[in-house]
Each structure stands twice: as C-alpha cells, then as structure tokens.
C-alpha cells in the first residue's frame, strides 16, 4: 500500500508513522509527503530523510478546478492508495475527496463530534476542552469527507482531563496518544487495503 502523508507543521505524526513502517508494524510505503506550506518543518524533515515531497498551494493556481487537477495528477502519478492527514490545516478539494472516497483519514486532538469544525485545530482545541469543563479528552481518527471533522469516526482513545491541566499539558498528553493510535489504525487499514489490492491484481 502506498501512503501519502499531508502535513502543515512539524510532522510528528508523520515521524511516528514512518517509524512504525520501518519497524514492520505497518505494511505500507510512504510514497509522498505533501504540504500546503513550502517551509513546513515536517516537509524539510521528510526531504532530508529521502522521501518524495510536494507542495500544494491553492494560491499558485488560477482556480479551484486547476488546483484539484494538479493535486490529483500528482497523487495518481505516485499511485497513492491512502492519504493520511497529519496536522494538515487546509481543506481537501471536493474532487480529490470524491476520487479517494473512504481513502483519506485524519486525526483530531479531541473526542469528536465535540470540539471539531472550522478553526478547531492545535491549541484552540485544548483551550476549548478546558473551558468547557469536560472530564475527558482524547484522540479521534475519522474518514475525511466534504465537511471539517464530520466524516465517519473509525477510532477514538480517551484520557482524563486533570484538575491542574493547562492547554499545553493537555496537548502534550493528547499528542502522545496520537503517536500511539494513528500508526495502529493505519496498520489495520493497510491490512484491508493490501488485501483489496491483491484481489484486484494490483
């Protein structure tokens, strides 16, 4: 199974996935690492590690149609089977979602459907969790559809919110959980997709 990892920041989930592949826990190959930011630290890390990289910036294209066409062309040239969003902060074009229906996954640092939607990313999520008085937080992994954080949830893991938690301390514990759960789920998806690829003769 060929993976493409999309990131916008430091790429710590990308690193966790790459490590799990190297350890044989995920039967897949990272074929492309992409970002909407040419200066994303995670993109540089990926390039330094020898991975193929790409930059998808909407402003480089005259309209959404040409942007989606370029993204699809790159993904299909690389024969990508699964797109993994790992801290990617841009909406995926609807045409790409349709082309990869049920083959794009995202990780969210809270228990969806709560604390999701536009603007709910990074430290904003953890601040909202603490301000709400929620007793638990955690991680959600979901299929990506046309709406932010509304796709079918395929895995969740919970942790208690501590009385003395700050956004930073909660974020650190949630991130540790992300690095555990995301590789596990991708490993399970790889088993299914690899079986489908064998069945189709790919």
- The pLDDT averaged over each successive group of 10 residues in the chain (202 residues) is 97 97 97 97 97 95 94 97 96 96 97 93 96 97 93 97 97 97 97 90 73
pLDDT of residue 199: 82
Residue 128 falls inside a structural domain: no
Q: Which residues are catalytic?
A: 108
Give the CATH number for residue 97. 3.40.50.170
Residue 169 falls inside a structural domain: no
Query: How many domains does the chain fold into?
Result: 1
Q: Specify the long-range contacts of residues 117-120, CB closer than 8 Å, at least 24 apart.
A: 117/148, 117/149, 117/150, 118/148, 120/148, 120/149
DSSP label at residue 161:
P
Task: Specify the 3-state DSSP secondary structure of 137.
Answer: strand
Residue 131 falls inside a structural domain: no
Residue 167 falls inside a structural domain: no
Residue 135 falls inside a structural domain: no
Expressed as residue numbers, the domain containing 51 is 2-108+140-156+178-200
Distance CA(14)–CA(12), nearest Å, equals 5
Residue 134 falls inside a structural domain: no
Task: Specify the 3-state DSSP secondary structure of 198.
Answer: helix
Is 138 within 8 Å of 157 (Cβ atoms)?
yes
Residue 170 falls inside a structural domain: no
User: Helix 41-48 and helix 12-22: axis angle, to 10°?
Assistant: 30
Partners of 157 in the beta sheet? 139
Residue 161 falls inside a structural domain: no
Report which of 171, 16, 22, 10 is spatially closest to residue 88, judged by C-alpha positions: 10
Distance CA(26)–CA(61), nearest Å, equals 35
């Amino acid at each position: 199974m060929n993976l493409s990892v999309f990131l916008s920041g430091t790429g710590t989930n990308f690193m966790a996935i790459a490590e799990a592949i190297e350890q044989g826990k995920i039967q897949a190959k990272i074929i492309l690492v992409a970002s909407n930011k040419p200066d994303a630290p995670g993109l540089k890390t990926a390039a330094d590690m020898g991975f193929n990289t790409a930059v998808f910036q909407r402003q480089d294209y005259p309209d959404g149609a040409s942007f989606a066409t370029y993204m699809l062309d790159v993904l299909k040239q690389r024969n990508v089977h699964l797109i993994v969003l790992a801290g990617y902060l841009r909406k995926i074009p609807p045409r790409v979602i349709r082309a990869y229906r049920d083959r794009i996954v995202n990780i969210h640092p809270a228990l969806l459907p709560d604390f999701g939607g536009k603007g709910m990313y990074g430290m904003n999520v953890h601040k909202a969790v603490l301000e709400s008085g929620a007793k638990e937080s955690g991680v959600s992994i979901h299929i990506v559809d046309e709406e932010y954080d509304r796709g079918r949830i395929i895995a969740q893991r919970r942790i208690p919110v501590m009385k003395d938690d700050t956004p930073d301390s909660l974020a650190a514990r949630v991130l540790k959980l992300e690095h555990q759960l995301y590789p596990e789920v991708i490993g399970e998806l790889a088993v299914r997709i690899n079986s489908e690829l064998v069945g189709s003769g790919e």
